[in-house]
A and B are shown apart, each in its own frame.
Chain A
Amino acid sequence: MSLLVQGMARLLFLPSIVVAIAFCVKGSTGEGDGFSGGLVAGLAVALVLLGFGPHEARRILPLRYAAAVAGVGFLIVVGTAVLPAILGAPPLQNRPPTGAQAVRLGAIGVNTALIFNTGIGALVAGGVSLVLARASNGSGRRR
């Protein structure tokens, strides 16, 4: 069982992160958004934690930065809300604005909502990883 999960974790971790990033980035053109992206990344971390246990997982992944990632994500989200307000626009004002054509970068439509999505993704991914890593420290004591 453990061997199987470990193999899966090894195989799936990087692809999951790629999918997570794709969800974050694609939010403005297709399916997905920062929240889903963050959850996928959190699931990838959960898989590693399940397969390798908290100590080994800490060695494989930089889990000690999870809180920092979440904090930065939160600051980005709040920043995108506050910055336009400081500059005299309504909070969360999109550039280019809603309804106008987004700037195209290949298949990705770029506007400031992308930054917002990235922040949400980082917050969710970091927060979920943090809580899972800490929870896995305590569990397994009884079983």
Chain B
Amino acid sequence: MGSPLPVLVPLAVAFVWPPLTWLVGRAGLRAAHLTAVAGALLTFAAVLWGVLAGGGEWAIAWVPSWGLEARFALDGLAALYGLVAAGVGAVVVIYSGRYIEDHLRAKGRLHDAPRFHALVLLFLAAMLGLATAQDLLLLFVFFDLTAVVSYLLIGFDHDDDEARAASLAALLVTAGSGVLLLAAVAWTWLEARTLRIADLGPLPVGVAVLVLVPAMAKSAQVPLHFWLPRAMVAPTPVSAFLHSAAMVAAGVFLVSRLHPILPSQVLDALVVVGLVSILVGGLIALSEDALKRILAGSTIAQYGYMTVLLGLGDVAGASFYVGAHALAKSALFLTAGTVTEATGERSLSAVGGLAKRLPVLAVASLVASAALAGLPLTLGFFKDEVFFTAVAGRGALLVGLGLAATISTFAYSARFWTGIFLGSPRHEGARAPASLVLPVVLLAALLLVGGWSGVGLRALVGRAAGHRPLELAYHLDLRPANLLALATWCGGALLFAALPWLRSAIARVLAVAGRVGPGAIFDALVAGLERMALMLHDVEVRHLRPRLAHTLIPTAALVGLAFFAQWKAALVVGPVAHSDLPLLLGLAVASGGALATISTASDTAMVMALTVVGFTLAALFALLHAPEVALVAALVETISTIMLLAFVMPLPSRHERAAPARKPWIVGIASVLAAGFAFVVTWEMLSRPAGGTVATRYMEIAHGEGVVGRILSDFRGLDTVGEITVIALSLATVAVLLHPGPVRNLARRVGAGR
């Protein structure tokens, strides 16, 4: 680990290209796609160069007072995940040029295409950052960045309610559980005072659990798996990238990265979680009808395999599995997308017999399906071999469950491919452009080359695991792995043959599970949150008067307590000289204005009366030799008068408004009490002896001569930051409320909900 370039160059390329693509998109859509393709290929080339150059490491001190640093390294694990993400990403970007154009043209928002490419590239960049991060906090940052970008990508069709709900579910599950990861980071820092992974000892079980829950949520493992089938409303290239090679891989990556410091108890839990996920995902894949949902179920199950492997301590096997699965699954997702493009159908029952119409796609997809099912001559055979080798020595239960898992994989792979390409031809006019077929062919070719004893990927995995290179080869003997593979093919064929009778039963089981399962609980929680928000909104907004009273009365009580607790001076009436006459006159005018505000007939007159008060006070500051304060007061008064008038003038006049029922004597008593209180508090403060405070001393050394400037930007600058934040928020809120658009619709919906 020496030179920083092998890690810096890929990261720089990856993070420069998303904004570049977006900018180029303003010039032209085709140019944006070409830029995106170039960016993805360059990123892949840069990672490959970095790997061939032997990797590298780069660190920069970051908040040195807390001992934090940003450390990136292109080590073996980073190389594997980086290459897989960049490789599949490049293929997907090539594919999505034509696909997203057709997709968006149908919706009439073709101009959004560059944003799509930029987001895909940004996701790739986030994955690279995650893969190379050597620091827990950085891991968290990139982990969350992938969640945020995936939210934008899954909900890319923001005109579709279902897509928005699905992206929100994905965000809540993956980024929401990501908060646990942040908690784990904070806990680790408090205990170890460092976040560098290489310096950390074994993690406490609590921290490990806080790490594993978000990791499993990201990899769509039961019980946090339900977001993945819903996310299938995303455009197909998104699924092909995020839901095969990138987003879901982030969870398994996190566990692999931290595997050396995870305690053994939680690793056992991983085995259980993985096995349940294989079962649930397998059932979904065997029974679903929508093409992409079959693949989503398969992804849940396949990541279950990797979770089991990680639980059994086989990081090398899991890493290999990630690579092999990513190639096969993205090819199948792209197949589903091309089939939908060619026929307009999205479900397995609506397509069939496409082998004649789309022969090239059929062959490429057959290779990918065979790889997923673990047939020899493809890379997929080795992923199953790795899995069998790992479970073989671990007792009959694990072997049996593992066998059941691979049998179901075989069956749903066969179901997917035969359902699309065999049977009676239904779509005579179906045709697919080469740009939607060639990427699949490319991935299939890679799977076949890898089937030649797993070249390439094996070397990568050897580097990733560091200690134990994988043994991958075809052995023509009766070793357990081979026997299990044979059993898988026979059992899988049987299961596939029996599927027509079993499918409805599985669907019934899943329907029952769907009503009480984690997905239903999540929906109930979200619905409850929404109801609570509406209820709070009602309490806050419906009755303004009591609402204000609830805020103002406790505030007044606190202010009163503070003042009367440290009552310093008796109420003093200072000397009044002749020169104070203008001051007294001004105060009299202000008082008159104040009285006028409560007795005016129209809103406009009330605003004007208030303005009289304000400007008189501003003039008084000038009389008191405080020109800067007077300046600010006059400016504020002008702006607020204009704004108040702008808001008050469109209102219906008072006669047209239904006057709220109120009892005059209560209002009178409350007003007198409030005014008297304010009067006494102010008088007490003015009676205190002046000068000699910290503020006075500070004023002398602060920059500048203007009092207001010195106070705002120097003496209490941090308070100004807080206040300016409040001002920014309220201005933004007012602007949004004034803007005709979604928020008004929301208000209408809230109003209708009452």
How far, in whole Å, are A35 and B638 apart by their CA atoms in the complex?
14
| A30 to B627 Cα, complex, angstroms | 11
Question: For window 15-50 of chain A, which residues contact chain B by CB distance below 8 Å?
Answer: 26-36, 39-40, 42-43, 46, 50
State in angstroms the CA–CA spacing of A131 and B733 once bound together.
9
In the complex the two chains form, is A32's CB within 8 Å of B721's CB?
A: no
**A residues within 8 A CB of B65?**
88
Q: Counting CB contacts under 8 A, is B560 at the interface?
A: no
The stretch of B103-111, B519-527, B710-718 that contacts the partner chain: B710-718
Determine if A9 is an interface residue (Cβ-Cβ < 8 Å): no
Q: In whole angstroms, what is the CA distance A60 to B712 when docked?
A: 33
B731 within 8 A of A: yes
Q: Quick one: closest B residue to A47, CB to CB?
A: B642
Residues from 711 to 754 in B contacting A, C-beta threshold 8 Å: 712-714, 717-718, 720-721, 724-725, 727-728, 731-732, 734-735, 738-739
* Residues on the B chain within 8 Å of A92, using CB: 717-718, 721
Per-position binary interface string of chain A over residues 98-122, scored 1 when its CB falls under 8 Å from any chain B CB and 0 otherwise: 1100100000010101001100100
Known: A74-B728, A139-B646. A43 touches B639 (CB 8 A): yes
Q: Is the CB–CB distance between A36 and B705 below 8 Å?
A: no
Residues of B near A30 (CB, < 8 A) are 704-706
Q: Using Cβ atoms and an 8 Å threshold, which residues of chain A touch B690?
A: none
Partner of A94, one of B62, B638, B703, B738: B703
Once bound together, how far apart are the Cα atoms of A65 and B220, in whole Å? 42
Of B349-357, B565-573, B628-636, the one contacting chain A is B628-636
- Report if B63 contacts A (CB, 8 A): yes
The 0/1 profile, CB within 8 Å of B marked 1, for residues 64-78 of chain A is: 000100100010011
Of all chain A residues, the one with the shortest Cβ separation from B647 is A135
By the criterion of a CB under 8 Å from any partner CB, how many residues of chain B are at the interface? 45
Q: Which residues of B are found within 8 Å of A142, using beta-carbon distances?
A: 649-650, 652
B721–A81 touching, CB < 8 Å: yes
**B642 proximity list for chain A (CB < 8 A):** 43, 46, 50, 132
Task: Return the chain A residue nearest B736 by Cβ.
Answer: A134
Q: If A43-B639, A92-B718 touch, does A33 touch B647 (CB 8 Å cutoff)?
A: no
- Whether the pair B643, A109 counts as a contact (CB closer than 8 A) is no
Q: Select from chain B the residue with minimum beta-carbon distance to A114.
A: B713
With A46-B639, A132-B643, A138-B738 as known contacts, state yes or no: A120 contacts B650, CB within 8 Å.
no
What is the interface size of chain A, counting residues whose CB is below 8 A from a CB of the partner? Answer: 54
Task: State whether A43 and B635 are in contact (beta carbons under 8 Å apart), knowing that A113-B714, A127-B728, A131-B735 are contacts in the complex.
Answer: yes
Expressed in whole angstroms, the Cα–Cα distance for A28 and B494 within the complex equals: 84
Cα–Cα, bound, A28→B636 (Å)? 21
How distant is B614 from chain A, measured CB to nearest CB, in Å? 13
* Any B CB within 8 A of the CB of A91: yes
> Which residue of A43, A109, A135, A138 is within 8 Å of B704 (Cβ)?
A109
Q: Which residues of A contact B647 (CB under 8 A)?
A: 135, 139
Report whether A120 and B703 are in contact in the complex, using a CB–CB cutoff of 8 Å: no
Residue in A32, A91, A98, A120 whose beta carbon sits within 8 Å of that of B701 in the complex:
A98
Among B647, B650, B718, the one with the most A-chain Cβ atoms within 10 Å of its Cβ is: B650
| B64 interfacial contact with A, CB 8 Å | yes
Cβ-defined contact, B627 with A78, below 8 A: no
Report chain A residues within 8 Å CB of B41: none
Q: Which of A33, A42, A130, A140 contacts B712 (CB 8 A)?
A: A33
Q: Complex: how many Å from CA A113 to CA B702?
A: 11
Chain A proximity of B225: nearest CB distance (Å): 38
Given the interface pairs A27-B706, A40-B635, A91-B718, the reply to whether A127 lies near B731 with Cβ below 8 Å is yes
* Contact of B709 with A134 in the complex, beta carbons under 8 Å: no
Bound Cα distance A92, B728 (Å): 19
Shortest Cβ distance from A81 into chain B, in angstroms? 5
Question: Does B708 interact with chain A (Cβ within 8 Å)?
Answer: yes
User: Does A6 sit at the interface, judged by CB under 8 A?
Assistant: no
Closest A residue by C-beta to B646 = A135
Known contacts A117-B713, A132-B646, A135-B646; A36/B735 CB under 8 A: no
* CB pair B704 A27 closer than 8 Å: yes
Closest A residue by C-beta to B635: A39
Q: Are A78 and B721 in contact (CB under 8 A)?
A: yes
When C-beta atoms are compared, the residue in chain A nearest to B702 turns out to be A98
Contact of A139 among B638, B649, B720, B721 (CB under 8 A): B649
Chain A CB within 10 A, most for which of B64, B718, B727, B734: B727
Check if A33 sits within 8 Å of B708, measured CB to CB: yes
- With beta carbons under 8 angstroms apart, the residue of A42, A70, A113 that contacts B713 is A113
B709: chain A residues at CB < 8 Å are 26-28, 31-33, 117
Shortest distance in angstroms between A79's beta carbon and chain B's nearest beta carbon? 10
- CB atoms of B706 and A31 under 8 A apart: yes
| Chain B 679-720 interface mask (CB, 8 Å, partner A; 1/0) | 000000000000000000010011111101100111001101
Question: Is the CB–CB distance between B724 and A120 below 8 Å?
Answer: yes
Q: Is the Cβ of A116 less than 8 Å from the Cβ of B713? A: yes
CB <8 Å contact, B718 and A81: yes
List residues of chain A with CB within 8 A of the CB of B703.
Answer: 28-29, 94, 98, 102, 109, 111, 113
Given A30-B704, A140-B650, verify A123-B727 contact (CB < 8 Å). Answer: yes
Using known A-B contacts A33-B713, A128-B639, A141-B650, determine if residue A123 contacts B728 with beta carbons closer than 8 Å. yes
Residues of B within 8 A of A86 (CB): 62-63
Shortest Cβ distance from B138 into chain A, in angstroms?
Answer: 15
Specify which of A26, A31, A33, A134 is in contact with B738 (CB 8 Å cutoff). Answer: A134
Taking the nearest CB of chain A, how far is it from the CB of B423, in angstroms?
56
Interfacial chain B residues near A143, Cβ < 8 Å? 649-650
A132, B731: Cα distance in complex, Å? 10
Residues of B contacting A128 in the complex (Cβ-Cβ under 8 angstroms)? 639, 731
Q: Mark B644-663, 1 if CB is under 8 A from A, else 0.
A: 00110110100000000000
Is the beta-carbon distance between A34 and B712 smaller than 8 angstroms? yes
Q: Complex formed: what's the CA distance from A34 to B713 in Å?
A: 9
Whether A29 and B714, one on each chain, are in contact in the complex, defined by CB atoms closer than 8 angstroms, is no
B646 touches A99 (CB 8 A): no
Distance between B740 CB and nearest chain A CB, rounded to angstroms: 8
Residues of B near A77 (CB, < 8 A) are: 720-721, 724
Report chain B residues within 8 Å CB of A141: 650
Bound state CA distance, A142 and B643, in angstroms? 17
What's the Cα separation between A34 and B702 when bound, in Å? Answer: 16
Determine the residue in chain A with the shortest Cβ distance to B703: A28
Point out the residues of chain A lying under 8 angstroms from B631, CB to CB: 31-32, 36
Residues of A whose CB lies within 8 Å of any CB of B are 26-36, 39-40, 42-43, 46, 50, 67, 70, 74, 77-78, 81, 86, 88, 91-92, 94, 98-99, 102, 109, 111, 113, 116-117, 120, 123-124, 127-128, 130-132, 134-143
In addition to A116-B713, A131-B731, 12 A-B residue pairs with Cβ atoms within 8 Å of each other are: A27-B713, A28-B703, A33-B709, A35-B712, A46-B639, A123-B724, A127-B732, A130-B735, A132-B643, A135-B647, A142-B652, A143-B650
B residues in contact (CB < 8 Å) with A: 62-65, 627-628, 631-632, 635-636, 638-639, 642-643, 646-647, 649-650, 652, 698, 701-706, 708-709, 712-714, 717-718, 720-721, 724-725, 727-728, 731-732, 734-735, 738-739
Can you spell out 5 A-B residue pairs with CB atoms less than 8 angstroms apart?
A26-B709, A28-B703, A88-B65, A113-B703, A132-B646
Which 4 pairs of residues, A with B, have the shortest CB-CB distance? A127-B731, A33-B709, A134-B738, A27-B709
